[in-house]
Amino acid sequence: MTADTATPTRLTLYRDAGSRAGGFVRRAWRRRWVKVVAILLAIPFILYFLLWLIFARGLPSAETLLTYQPPLPTQVRDINGQPVQSFARERRVQLSFDEYPKPLINAFLSAEDKTFFSHHGIDYPGLVAAVGDYVKKVGSGTRARGGSTITQQVAKNLLVGNEYSITRKIKEAFLARRIENVLTKQQILEIYLNQIFLGRNAYGVQAAARAYFDKDVDQLSLPQMAYLAILPKGPNNYDPDVRPDRALARRNWVLHEMEVNGFITAAQRAEAQAAPLGAVSGPKESVHNIGGYFMEELRRQLIDKYGEGTEKGANGVYTGGLWIRSSVDPEKQHAAEQALRDGLVRYDNGHGWRDSGLTVDVSGDWRSELAAAPFGTGYPDWRPAVVLDKAGSVATLGFVDGSKGSLPSYGASQPKQGTGTAAFDALRPGMVVAVKKNGADWQLKSIPAVRGAFVAEEVASGRVVAMQGGWDLRESAFNRATQAQRQPGSTFKPVVYSAALDNGMTPASIIVDGPFCIWQGAGLGNKCFRNFSGGNAGPQTMRWGVEQSRNLMTVRTANTIGMDKVTRRAKELGVGEYPNYLAVALGAGETTPMRMVNAFAILANNGRAVKPSLIDYIQDRNGKLVFRADTRPCEGCNAKDWDGRPMPRPPLRTKQIVDPMTAYQMVHILEGVVQRGTATVLRDLNRPLFGKTGTTSGPTNVWFIGGSSELVAGVYMGFDHPKPMGGYAQGGTLAAPIFKQWAQVAYKDAPVIPFRAPAGIRMVRIDRRSGQKVFGAWPTDDPKAAVIWEAFKPESEPRRSLRREELLGTAEGAPAAAAKPRARRPAAAAAAASSNAAAPAPAATPPPAPPPSNGLQDQGPIH
């Protein structure tokens, strides 16, 4: 062979030339069928990688479930610690796995995932069956069977969503395997049983047990547990009220599966299948849902602080599971609601029946429309109804629950407001009305157009124990106690006179009750003020002016001390910020009932600041304290036993807004308003009370604010769009009786505690009308007694002066009794002087003056 004819040779070098395994693989790979098998085996891994790349790479981490906390409602308790309200969008009660009975868990496993404790997140036989069912139903519009395990359902509910698609199923599968690697089976089941929706706004099994059987989970019977286990597939499909037969059949299937799985015996299954469903129409309220306006105001404050959901953190009102200790007192709250409504009805009586203006379509779903109508009847025994038909002298009524009743013409005989025709003649089908049971029939009732508010506050702490902001929260959420800006009228006068007492005046100061005008400028001319009743009474004491609510004396006082001092005091008491106009002294500036009640509470608290609060403290779902209204430290308050030392008390940290002696003087004067002034309707309550009535021009608003040394309350009445209430409307005749009705409940069995005078106050006997000091007479229990105890600051009480001839006798030897004293004296003192007139004292040595009197301070402790 020559060089021209040689052929090239290609050589391949293998590192494993000496390896048997390498040679075997190389020879096998040359076979075609080996390559096909290898490719077929690689396809699942390639597909899994592609699926992970497309669907699973952006999925949330399963580790988030380690700290998962389901949305929980906020629970509110009253002043005694009893549950009274719940703020919830999802009714749910969170339990631990150990708190769920084992038969209940077995029921859910039999219904949803009997291989739960053996698979690793995915039930492959079930998945294959679900895929086959999906293929068969593609294009039919029918939803295929789920085939999801409990782990997949947890992934769907919490991390993926409820979209009906292949994509969601793939994501579920990936997440289910991740969850199984992160959580134990017990943790997964706990999340599932607390999270799953089971109808009737019940999320979680405990909430469903209450919704369907009004029981806790540990009180459920076996058939009841089996019924709850059928609900995850579709609560509406097995509604015991709408589809009882379907629900019964499905429940019995679950019981059969429990027997097959060895969870119960055949005898237990047979006994349970023979039991009826036994579902209730709804749970009994575990909370009383009291204080509609109180709780609505509390809810507003919580949302402002924590938000509705998680937008402001983990303590959202509807998700955070907060525990609230509120200050509401159920007894006082119910009394406030009743008293205010009774007062509104008393005013409205005689004005005729008022049409609400609401209608529903009686030819459609009138029950749903009636239930959704913004119509509140207020009283528990008044019910909303719709007029379905009217024939002859009888109208047929329909109620929210679907029942019907009859309204005869004599039950609606009152005239319609603004007309002379009977209310029955004005009824038309579709009208929404309020009715009350009257024997076998119903009686038409009228919802008053006038509105009002009531607030009650503890003096020492500022805790609001009762609040009613209108007729009914269902009709209007506008809270007139906190949101309505109204003129306080004469209830503002204590602000004026407390400023006067700080600026040299006393309760016995003489103020002229006479014409008073001011020059407003060339364009406006003179502005003349007048008393509510007209006329004037001449010079009178400050006390008399407050008790009789004299406008002329008030503006004269404000003008004397300067309006800047009045408006400064109003700002200090939190009533409001006003310009220095004299009209403000008569309550022309706007404020809210809540602010006025708090101002009176500050006066009753000896001038120390208090802030109205509805919440005592807040705990999160784990019991951690996140808010407390009273943040004062109290060293030793939590001691296990008494150490023999004085009882520990938290320090006083509130600001002294008003001089304590001024505050007491003002309260002492306001006690006279109840005893002999414009609020004498309260006198027969027979306890120390102070207060002030108020009536604004028109009159458009009437007020009363007052109370005891422990509890202060305020009432406001008026129209939302101010208009005259009638010439007879006054705070003493309309508002004060509302307070009295409430007080008869609120103060029942409460200790009678007088107002305590601060150190330095001098109690002096004076003549009530003249304000002069009295020596020879003593006050009595008669409210209109001529001599009373009056409160003075040191060295401010009136002095009694006598002429020289009264002490030494006249130069002609005339009886001393013939000489008139400069100061008015009681009859007893004059008689004493007359009896000694025959023996005048020597001119050179006058008799010693009587020792100064300290009034009640000589008689023991002051209260």
Catalytic (active-site) positions: 112, 490
- Structural contact between residues 120 and 180, judged by C-beta atoms closer than 8 angstroms: yes
75 class by beta-carbon count within 10 Å (0-12 exposed, 13-18 middle, 19+ buried): buried
Beta bridge partners of 86: 75
> What is the Cα–Cα distance from 388 to 445, expressed in whole angstroms?
17
Between the two ends of the chain, the Cα-to-Cα distance in Å is 141
Phi, psi of 458 (to 5 degrees): -70, 135
> What is the Cα–Cα distance from 622 to 418, expressed in whole angstroms?
59
Structure-block tokens of residue 283: 């749970």
> What is the Cα–Cα distance from 775 to 825, expressed in whole angstroms?
8
DSSP assignment of 150-214: HHHHHHIIIII----SHHHHHHHHHHHHHHHHHS-HHHHHHHHHHH-B-STTBBSHHHHHHHHHS
H-helix segments, 423-486: 423-426
Structure-block tokens of residue 97: 């796995």
Beta bridge partners of 749: none
Residue 613 is given by DSSP the state B
- Structural contact between residues 469 and 482, judged by C-beta atoms closer than 8 angstroms: yes
| Unique residue bearing structure tokens 């007894």 | 331
Strand ranges across the sheet with 382-391: 404-408, 394-398, 382-391, 432-438, 441-445
Parallel, antiparallel, or unpaired: how do β-strands 74-77 and 323-326 relate?
Answer: parallel
- My answer on whether omega of the bond before 699 falls inside 30° of 0, hence cis, is yes
CB-based contacts of 362-370 (< 8 A; 24+ apart in sequence): 362/386, 362/387, 362/388, 362/389, 362/398, 362/429, 362/430, 366/398, 367/398, 367/400, 367/401, 367/402, 370/398, 370/399, 370/400, 370/432
3-class SS of residue 341: helix
Structure-block tokens of residue 639: 């001691």
> What is the Cα–Cα distance from 694 to 673, expressed in whole angstroms?
12
DSSP assignment of 6-36: PPP------TTTT-HHHHHHHHHHTSHHHHH
> What is the Cα–Cα distance from 644 to 646, expressed in whole angstroms?
7
Phi, psi of 762 (to 5 degrees): -110, 120
- Structural contact between residues 663 and 607, judged by C-beta atoms closer than 8 angstroms: yes
> What is the Cα–Cα distance from 83 to 290, expressed in whole angstroms?
10
> What is the Cα–Cα distance from 616 to 279, expressed in whole angstroms?
38
Phi, psi of 315 (to 5 degrees): -105, 40
459 class by beta-carbon count within 10 Å (0-12 exposed, 13-18 middle, 19+ buried): buried
H-helix segments, 486-573: 493-501, 542-547, 551-561, 563-572
| Torsion on CA atoms 501, 504, 508, 513, rounded to nearest 10 | -90
User: Among 132, 205, 146, which residue's Cα sits nearest to residue 176?
Assistant: 146
